[in-house]
Amino acid sequence: MSALAAAAADYLELRRALGFKLVKEGRVLATFVSYLDGRGAVTITAEATLAWACQPPDAPPPRWSKRLSVARAFASYMRALDPATEVAPTGLWPSARRQEPFVCNPTEIAALVDAAARVGTSFAAGTYSVVVGLIAVTGMRTGEVLRLDIDDVDLDQGLARVRDTKFGKSREVALHASTVATLTAYGTWRDRSAQAPLGPSFFVSRAGSRAKAGQLGLHWQATIDRAGVVRAHGRRPRLHDLRHSFAVNTLRSWHDAGLDVEARLPLLSTYLGHANPASTYWYLTATPDLLAAAARRLETPNGTST
């Protein structure tokens, strides 16, 4: 193992200890170190970094920007160990822009959940309609929902325990009484309808194995077709847009209830499993109804602003 490869391993171990998973970034960094080793380099230079970052030549510039970001982070770490290390400049290529989220209103969410219960086989419909509904009412990540085991869902306490999340942490997600009732009914139906033996998963396929993201994705596309939830130019909601929708609709409900939204934002961050509120801002979109709710707060005598 080269000195740079050993340093890269130490760097990843340090950052992962701080809560970052760095799965894709770790693979990308390995190719960077391999490139440097292939050139016989013992020190990171800006020239080598840029030459590696813009590969392959026909890749879109946002991909080059992402590769450069990974290399620059490692170079910044290495500069503390090797003063000769050069950190390549940033801003050379455009970064990937966030796709505008499709924020569903409550009526659209109800239509999607209803449609999900009416497409595919009876078992797929019964499982994935509950999955879609749970994502919509909790804002949980798709992977978090599919990874739930039976022991993670405490229906007596009304909690879903999410383990080993995106940032390597776990959290408890409080469930509304109506959600508990739906999950209870699903569990009874699942145990009666699935082929034995059942695994530990809460959401399962007909064979009793864990429900798969790929099958959920196919079911979601059929769900959109049936629900007819589209916008201008044929824009269709992604499954992940339900998480955006939860964040925006939560803020709107707080505004409507006259609550202190700014004070509650850290609570929303914790509920969504974010490491800090800055990550939550990514999910907040200035929809017309959210802006209208905020404007009404400003117009009221008891509003927090004047």
Residue 304, pLDDT > 50, answer: no
Query: 11: which residues sit within 8 A by CB, 6+ positions away?
Result: 29, 74, 77, 78
| Helix/strand number for the chain, H first, E second | 13, 3
Residues annotated as catalytic are: 141, 166, 240, 243, 274, 283
Q: Residue 257: which pLDDT band, with cuts at 50, 70 and 90?
A: confident
Q: What is the pLDDT of residue 199?
A: 83
What values do phi and psi take at 202, rounded to 5? -75, -45
Span 153-198, pLDDT tens digits: 999 999 999 987 766 678 999 999 999 999 999 999 999 988 766 7
Nearest residue to 129 via CA among 145, 144, 151: 145
3-class DSSP state for residue 75? Answer: helix
pLDDT over 70 (residue 299): no
Average pLDDT over residues 276-287: 70
What mean pLDDT do residues 296-305 have?
Answer: 56
Task: Note whether 219 and 128 are within 8 A (CB).
Answer: yes
Mean pLDDT of the chain: 88
Written as six digits, the tokens of 271 are 């509920």
C-alpha–C-alpha distance, residues 171 and 158, integer Å: 14
Is residue 7 predicted with pLDDT exceeding 90? yes
Beta bridge partners of 154: 159
Chain-centroid distance, C-alpha 62: 20
Rounded to whole angstroms, the Cα distance separating 207 from 193 reads: 10
Per-residue pLDDT, 305: 41
Q: How confident is the model at residue 12 (pLDDT cuts 50, 70, 90)?
A: very high
On whether the CB atoms of residues 167 and 155 are closer than 8 A, the answer is no
Specify burial of residue 81 (Cβ count, 10 A radius: 0-12, 13-18, 19+).
exposed
Which of 108-112, 143-147, 302-306 comes out lowest in average pLDDT? 302-306
| Strand-by-strand arrangement of the 153-154 sheet | 153-154, 159-162, 171-174
The tens digit of pLDDT for each residue in 104-136 reads 999 999 999 999 999 999 999 999 999 999 999
Distance CA 28, CA 58 (A): 17
Spatial distance between the Cα atoms of 87 and 98, rounded to a whole number of angstroms: 26
Given pLDDT bands bounded at 50, 70 and 90, which one contains residue 95?
Answer: low
Compute the radius of gyration of the chain from its Cα atoms: 23
Per-residue model confidence as pLDDT tens digits over 225-256: 999 998 877 889 999 999 999 998 998 888 88
Residue 170 is predicted with a pLDDT of 85
**pLDDT for residue 49:** 96
What does pTM read for this prediction?
0.68
How confident is the model at residue 300, as a pLDDT?
59
| Partners of residue 171 on adjacent β-strands | 162
259 compared with 88, residue with greater pLDDT = 88
